[in-house]
Amino acid sequence: MCGIIGLHLKNPGLAPRLGGLLTEMLDAMTTRGPDSAGIAVYADHEGDALRYSLRSDESTDWNLLARRVAAETGSDVRVEPLGSDSAVLGSPAAEALVLAAIRRLAPQVSVPGYGRSMAVVKDVGAPAAICARYGIPGWGGYQGIGHTRMATESAVTTAHSHPFAPAADLALVHNGSFSNYATVRRRLARDGIRCDTDNDSEVAARLIAARMAEGADLEGGLRTVLKEMDGFFTLLVTTRTQFAVIRDSFACKPAVIAETPDYVAMASEYHALAGLPGITGARVFEPMPEEIHVWSR
């Protein structure tokens, strides 16, 4: 079992409350996944810099790393510490250059996600504690997704936690389990696409990213999962502009969507949505098997 939640705002007036609302939703899903949790939050930022969410379990001098990445990539780098073990690094340089520089200069640092709009934090422990540690309730933005994990197929570590965000501004959370993910992972490896972990959900995220890199839109990427991957899944996948939900052919895993003029919200169980503003007037429904629901800003 796992819990997933997401909120896509249509009314910019709610933007300052996004982090607080996501935190409450995620906390409500603790019963479905107390092992670990993570969240991807999208907000508008000035300029074209890509923002890299960094994480290190070893003590890391983020300012020193930023200066060294700046020297290596030949462009300005900004860094904002985030809690004791994380930071967000902004750089206008090409993503491959920056990712390679971080990998070489600080091999202990992982990059849970990056993009022009998206920041990702994830960790082992109770969802509410994780959100509090990174100050998520104070974050603003226009959409976010989150996950509470009850691990069934791979280890409980930060790296195995969701969201999986293998491409710029692309994030995925998954409730369920895939059965042929090792086969798909080998297929991806033949195309030069490597997974960081042995987690099944990461394979789905990388498959979607691969199809989108080839030119597919988000819906096309999700159709590829239906076609190529066996298993149970409710997936919530976001890009910089889109918010999408898909369920497997048997709708084995729960999903509830609530839509109002102000937002679209999704969760594994309705009670995660019950505290949202205006929820009593929302249109509440369960997405059908194999249906893809996409909202765009």
Partner 1 sequence: MEPVILSCAELSTREINAALAALPDGACARVLEPRGRHNLAVGLSNRVRIDIEGNAGYYTGGLGQGPDVVVDGFVGWSVGENLQAVPGRDLAEGRDGPGRRERRSHERVHGTGRCHPGRR
97 residue type, one letter: L
Name the residue among 165, 184, 176, 169 with its Cα closest to residue 252: 176
At position 203, the amino acid (one-letter code) is V
Amino acid at site 17: R
Instruction: Please report whether residue 252 would count as binding partner 1 according to CB under 8 A.
Output: yes
> Residue 250 CB, nearest distance to partner 1 (Å)?
5
Which residues make beta-bridge pairs with 176?
233
Q: Work out which of 251, 277, 290, 294 binds partner 1, going by CB under 8 A.
A: 251
Identify which of 135, 205, 219 has the alpha carbon closest to the alpha carbon of residue 168: 205
278 binds partner 1 (CB under 8 A): no
Q: Is 250 in the site for partner 1 (CB under 8 A)?
A: yes
> Applying CB under 8 A, which part among 58-66, 155-163, 167-175, 246-254 lies near partner 1?
246-254
Name which of 75, 103, 104 is nearest 90 in CA terms.
Answer: 75
Q: Which of residues 76-135 bind partner 1 (CB under 8 A)?
A: none
CB atoms within 10 A of CB 234: 22
Let me know: does 18 contact 119? Beta carbons within 8 Å.
no
Q: Determine, following the binding rule CB under 8 A, whether residue 273 of this chain makes contact with partner 1.
A: yes
Q: Among 103-111, 163-171, 185-193, 279-287, which window interacts with partner 1 (CB under 8 A)?
A: 279-287
Q: Which stretch binds partner 1 (CB under 8 A): 47-55, 164-172, 204-212, 248-256?
A: 248-256
Please say which residue, 220 or 287, places its beta carbon nearer to partner 1: 287
Q: Cβ of 228: how many Cβ atoms within 10 Å?
A: 15
The catalytic residue positions are: 2
Q: Which residues bind partner 1 (CB under 8 A)?
A: 250-252, 254, 256, 269-275, 280, 283-289
